[in-house]
Amino acid sequence: MLQAGFDIGGTNIAAGIVDEDAKLVLKRSIPFPAGEPYQVAVEALAQLLTEMTEELFVPVSSLASIGIAVPGSIDQASERVVHAYNLQFHDVPLRSALMGYFPSVPVFLANDANAAALAELYAGAFVGCKTAVLITLGTGIGGGLILGGRMFNGGLGNGVELGHMVLEHGGPLCTCGTRGCIEALCTATWLVQQGRKSLIEYPHAMIATKAGQVLSNVNAKLVIDCAKAGDAIAKDIFDRYVDQLGSALTSCFNLLDPEVIALGGGVSLAGEFLFSPLRENVKQKCFFKNCGKIVQAKLGNDAGIIGAAMLAKN
């Protein structure tokens, strides 16, 4: 049986059809109709799915399920999107709206980070695991948990907000309004902020030179590249980043004793330059002598659609 998955983002809607082994057999992407009522997006989903199934010569009604991942919070019954700020979806009955087009196919709804963790369980870094943590290091922090071999959506159904666990009491202000969250200290955004600060303090150092003295040219990759090239100022920023992220991961290991923590998102592309000192950092801080592995997430941009497609199995 085939299953369909949608990953709705503020820029694009990605769609995929996967087989029983969570392998993608077809993938498409269309622009998200920003600024339109949600019904326009739902109609676009329905049309896209119809076209994709036609391409595979199967009717939509033969699909085992349809899953939708959104960057926001879902109500306890998994019927409605409570808030998805990037999509301007507020209290949207997304599940019933799509079922209106395909009444015979079960539709499931989830947060995109949770869905990504589920995708890693079926087809990526968490295959065979019972307890695992996914953390995506981007502009913000995304995260999902696998507990007891299933996607965990919080005890009260509010989801999991790994990025807003407090890492430094009274630390820098987070986007959520609290201080010292993991999101305030472990994102690509933190690397960018520190890189820009250094550009003013050290105008002759490598970050400033490579950025042509222009603040907006400083991104996380530039800071990481300068650290890789051995620049002392960039290396100092990167070492502090590893230390902060190491503390965040240590807390996850101490809380859940997971078999694996997988890191995704842009910063994780630094590869062993990040992972090797990070493992060493966690080894020194973790309560357990034999804590789980720290690996790169495997599914990248496809995680949302694969996870959405696998929701029925959760």
Smallest gap from Cβ 110 to Zn ion, in A, equals: 21
User: Whose Cβ is closer to Zn ion: residue 85's or residue 288's?
Assistant: 85
**Looking at 15, 68, 94, 181, which residue binds Zn ion (CB under 5 A)?**
181
State which residue, 199 or 245, has the beta carbon closest to Zn ion. 245
Nearest Cα neighbor of 116 from 264, 12, 267, 14 is: 264
Q: State the minimum distance, in angstroms, from the CB of residue 154 to Zn ion.
A: 16
CB of 29 to Zn ion, least distance (A): 30
Contact between 285 and 247 under an 8 Å Cβ cutoff? The reply is: yes
Report the site for Zn ion in 75-104 (rule: CB under 5 A): none
Q: Which residue has the tokens 């790169």?
A: 296
Tokens of 201: 């303090």
Tell me the C-alpha distance between 111 and 74, whole Å.
7
CB of 265 or CB of 307, closer to Zn ion: 265
Q: What's the closest the beta carbon of residue 111 comes to Zn ion, in angstroms? A: 16
In angstroms, rounded to a whole number, what is the distance separating the alpha carbons of residues 105 and 80? 17
Judged by CB under 5 A, does residue 278 bind Zn ion?
no
- Nearer to Zn ion by Cβ, of 174 and 199: the residue is 174
* CA distance linking residue 159 with residue 153, whole number of Å: 4
Q: How many residues bind Zn ion (CB under 5 A)?
A: 6
* Residues in contact with Zn ion, shown as a per-residue x/- string from 111 to 150 under the rule CB under 5 A: ----------------------------------------
Note the Cα 4 to chain centre separation in Å: 19
Largest pairwise CA distance in the chain: 65
Residue with tokens 């997006």: 41
Q: Minimal CA–CA distance to 10: which of 209, 304, 308, 312?
A: 304
Residues 150-179 that bind Zn ion (CB under 5 A): 164, 174, 176, 178
Choice between 174 and 242, CB closer to Zn ion: 174
Minimal distance in Å, beta carbon 36 to Zn ion? Answer: 30
Residue with token string 């769609």: 15
Q: One-letter amino acid identity for 171?
A: G
- State the residues that interact with Zn ion by CB under 5 A: 164, 174, 176, 178, 181, 183
